[in-house]
Amino acid sequence: MRLSLALALAMLTATTPALAEPGFAEVNNARFLERVSLSDAALELKGTGLGRFAWVIKVCAAALYGPPEVPVEELPLSDVSKRLEIEYFVAVSRENFVEAAMRALIKQQSREDLAAMSRALDKLHALYSDVQAGDRYALSYTPGQGLILELNGEEVGRVREGAEFAQAYFGIWLGDKPISNSLRRGLLGG
């Protein structure tokens, strides 16, 4: 179980997207579209990262999308549509997702803020399930609609909270105290 948690919290190394073929970027054989649609918004690939545990075990590949007109460095704090996709190379349990998310949020949020968002966190965390190698989660935010969680392209649920909640949750990967600084750099195009 500790290894699974360690994998979920893995040290991540940023990568530059390699073009697999026109319209795609590839990270360790995980292919990400260069453009996606979210509700009525057209989003473009802003950056990618490769997750590693102990610099050896490849855990996941991730891609961040945002509106073309929003500079990538402004994306984490902007109330605009955004999407994070993560493809896993190893199995990770639901419990490890929740524990990793909470550890990151505790570093970034005050107790009062965490208490205020506890219902939304509980609802979002209840949507997670175990994943196997090859599974892909996507977390999307659309202003006025809240967060949408998908697993392998199928919506598993929504949390209708506003920009502050989305900013806090995306902060797990993009905030000032992210789960991994190198992943943050990669996702933000660094």
Give tens-digit pLDDT for 111-140: 999 999 999 999 999 999 999 999 999 999
Q: Where are the domains of the chain?
A: 2-187
Edge-to-edge strands, sheet with 30-33: 18-19, 24-27, 30-33
pLDDT beyond 50 at 7: no
19 pLDDT higher than 90: no
Fold of 2-187: Chalcone isomerase (3.50.70)
Write out pLDDT tens, residues 39-92.
888 999 999 998 766 667 788 899 999 999 999 999 998 999 999 999 999 999
pLDDT at 133: 96
CA-based torsion, 128, 112, 116, 138: positive or negative: negative
